[in-house]
Amino acid sequence: MLLEGKLLEGKTALITGAARGIGRAIALQFAAQGCNIAFTDIEYKEQTAQTLAELQKTGVKCKAYASDAADYQAAHQLAEDVLREFGRIDILVNNAGINRDALLMRMSEEMWDEVLNVNLKSAFNNIHAVTPIMLRQRSGVIISLSSIVGLNGNPGQANYAASKAGIIALTKSIARELGSKGIRANAIAPGFILTRMTESLPEETVQKFLQSIPMHRGGSPEEVANVALFLASDLSSYISGQVIEVNGAMV
């Protein structure tokens, strides 16, 4: 397939948790390819305004929303608001996520529930909200951020790993359910990506990660965003139900 012009010209993407990190990189990459952007953060903060200003420089239509992706009603209200403002939703990127790390015996019920709600339930909420819109359009792309630990597990991250493994199973299930309706669903499983979350890790932990990566470096949010762009565009028109790892051969 030969494509001309910008890869996402005239499309609209809804991206959760995109004020910073990987979500921000995806929003900027999509906007550079002509995509209108609706993005969320749980609160409208200085970082949200900065990201919005960067998106506005690209010339696409963009708007930031304060919305809790883990809240079922809020997710459905968000989809209604975005549809009213933009007229359609072509791409959903489930990026909202947190970590509350601890060894299992020290992990509280609250730590488990919070991570599962923000990382996994939020994806269900947003998929449930946008699916009727995409069904009416007879087209749509759903991209959800998983993780290398969702595939392999990691000590001290049982809650995070379980949530990200759930993303993979959810993705594969909806790809089967919605494929005949023109809707594709894929997941991205990043490895060690240099974000604010990884910056908070002890230096010893960082070095351990780097030693396990054959490319001897962490990835950038932009390198994950490039994969998201491919999956969102018609370049991947026959790819659905897949998990794309971005890990520098870490696994």
Q: What would the pLDDT profile of 211-241 be if each residue is shown by its tens digit?
A: 889 998 999 999 999 999 999 999 999 999 9
Tokens 């996520």 found at: 97
Active-site hit among 44, 72, 160, 238: 160
C-alpha to C-alpha distance for 233 and 240, rounded to whole angstroms: 12
Q: What is the mean pLDDT of the chain?
A: 95
- The pLDDT of residue 43 is above 70: yes
The confidence band for 5, taking pLDDT boundaries of 50, 70 and 90, is: confident
At 195 the pLDDT is 86
Please tell me which residue, 251 or 130, carries the higher pLDDT value: 130
- pLDDT reading at 3 higher than 80: no
Tell me what pLDDT residue 1 has: 55
Residue closest to 102 by CA, chosen among 112, 94, 116, 91 = 112
State which H helix or E strand residue 93 sits in.
Answer: strand 91-94
Mean pLDDT of 25-33: 98
In this structure, are strands 91-94 and 12-15 parallel, antiparallel, or unpaired? parallel
Average pLDDT over residues 31-54: 96
* pLDDT above 70 as % of the chain: 98
Q: Would you call 148 helix, strand, or coil by DSSP?
A: helix
Is pLDDT of 47 > 80? Answer: yes
- Alpha helices for 87-211 (secondary structure H): 109-116, 122-137, 148-152, 158-178, 196-199, 203-211
Average pLDDT over residues 3-14: 91
**How far is the C-alpha of 25 from the C-alpha of 52, rounded, in Å?**
12
Give the pLDDT confidence of 95-111 residue by residue, as tens digits: 999 999 999 999 999 99
In the chain the domains, ranked by start, together with CATH numbers, are 12-246 (3.40.50.720)
Confidence of residue 174 (pLDDT cuts 50, 70, 90): very high
Nearest alpha-carbon partner for 236 in 187, 191, 189, 193: 187
Q: Give, to the nearest 10 degrees, the angle between helix 109-116 and helix 158-178.
A: 30
Active site (annotated) includes residue 160: yes
Per-residue confidence band for 2, with pLDDT thresholds at 50, 70 and 90: low
Using pLDDT thresholds of 50, 70 and 90, give the confidence band for residue 82.
very high
Q: Which tokens belong to 103?
A: 């060894």
